[in-house]
Structure 1
């Protein structure tokens, strides 16, 4: 017997008592189970439902279209963004021009961690970039997402606790189940050729690689932003400008560490 999940989202045209109850009753009569339900905007509600056949889905859609109090905005097999929207009660913001860029504010760290964790759970090669100003929570979010996905994380270059620039890994660290974290600023400004040999080796491993400051990373390497499957932007406030103007030499410690990027 089939086990079909579907995502239904509707806009409330006229809110009245019992509207949700009517829809729930309709789903019950069609033997469609509600998996999750939540508001995803001021006047929108999202439901993740499950049933046994596409015929039930088709009957549901035809009946919903006759209801004057709602307008269906999404009715489809659930995408990752749909599952997260109904789980968190809000949609991930996506760049209108660059569809692989996703935007988060600092008060959405829970949503960001959940989003990255779902990406980390997927097998195979994946290159993810994350932009953001200092101390906004980029590295902490990556580590938290790795924990949620039950993955081991490895810093190839980082300034989380102290400046880290690795030039080799031990054999078991090449595990395709690991999350490899690269700080684009540290790698491009402070690393030697041995480090870059390691980075190129890691890029060939069919595993998830996440690069902080991808714009700086691609400026001095053979890689381009087209090589990234996802670009994540994290801001303190939604309208904050992400800039790298202060990265130049005046921001470096005497030992070569980047003070403003010591997360």
Structure 2
């Protein structure tokens, strides 16, 4: 019988020498293997386990809940956030009200790239919106994630190196394994109908699409927030407000080099 993976997370109530050893010994007695272990938050530890059957995990949980030195916070089949927490030693911050929204700061670019790469590896349609102020690292993170996922990326609209507004793809680019990247501001300010025909065509493809500035994109197109599967917010620091007031003062567009557009 194939072994199954489980994620165990506990909060340390009484930190004493030998606590981890006691838990490791308990896992050994129950014939449960430890794959990975790491601290995932202040005072919390996460373990990725391999068990032969569910009865082992049920027994483990009943014993752990009798211990006054720890408080079991999670014991379940591992989710993507669990695997990344184990790998990076910290949890991805998720919006309490909007479960689609995940928050990162610039110091967590490695975690962000890893997270998006895992999303990019999944097959089928996926629409991801990424919010952030200018030059925080949005586009670079998308490209790096594409590389990590071993996927080709295509700019449909962008300002990374120069202003890009595509109105057609060549035959080889119609590949559902590609990552299609759009800048919501560039696209919605474009009056090129062929560009919008291409956008609609790409949106119907069973592939991953990443849209920077999704709020602007939604405000100026037929698409809605409900069309998105994930929202990612990237800030320079946790207190930074993501705002489009700069747009009204034209500073945003100066940084993005929108030369020929009439705003």
**TM-score between both structures, scaled by the size of structure 2:** 0.95
Change (3 A) 1:250 1:44: closer
Q: Supply the distance in 2 between the matched residues of 1:86 and 1:191 (Cα, whole angstroms).
A: 47
CA contact (8 A) 1:135 1:261 kept: no
Q: Is 1:45 the counterpart of 2:40 in the alignment?
A: no
1:25 equivalent in structure 2: 25
Report the Cα distance in structure 2 between the residues aligned to 1:86 and 1:135, rounded to whole angstroms.
29
Post-superposition CA distance 1:183-230 (Å, at most 9, x none)? 001101135100000000000110000000000101110001111000
Paired position in structure 2 for 1:123: 123
Which blocks of at least 5 consecutive residues in structure 1 are unaligned?
253-257
CA distance in 2, matches of 1:248, 1:190: 18
Segment of structure 1 superposing worse, 187-196 or 210-219: 187-196
**Deviation at residue 250 of structure 1 after TM alignment:** 3.1
Partner of 2:66: 66
Equivalent residues of 1:165, 1:191 under 8 A apart: no
Work out whether 1:78 is the aligned partner of 2:73.
Answer: no
Q: Which runs of 5+ in 2 are unaligned?
A: 258-263
* Equivalent residues, number: 257
Q: Find the counterpart in structure 1 of residue 7 from structure 2.
A: 7
Matched with 1:212 is: 212
Q: Which residue of 1 aligns with 2:147?
A: 147
Q: Distance in 2 between matches of 1:162 and 1:23?
A: 55
Q: In the aligned structure 2, how far is the partner of 1:250 from the partner of 1:201? A: 31
What displacement does 1:261 show?
2.9
- The SS at the match of 1:181 is strand
SS at match of 1:40: strand
Q: Is the 8 A contact 1:7 1:78 kept in 2?
A: yes
Superimposed CA distance per residue, residues 29-50 of structure 1 (whole angstroms, 9 cap, x where no aligned partner): 1111111111111111000101
- Aligned residue for 2:231? 231
Indicate the residue corresponding to 1:196 in structure 2: 196
1:248-259 matches, cutoff 5 A:
248=248, 250-251=250-251, 258-259=253-254
CA-to-partner distance for each residue in 1:7-65, whole Å, 9 max, x for gaps? 00001010000000111111111111111111111111000101111111111111111
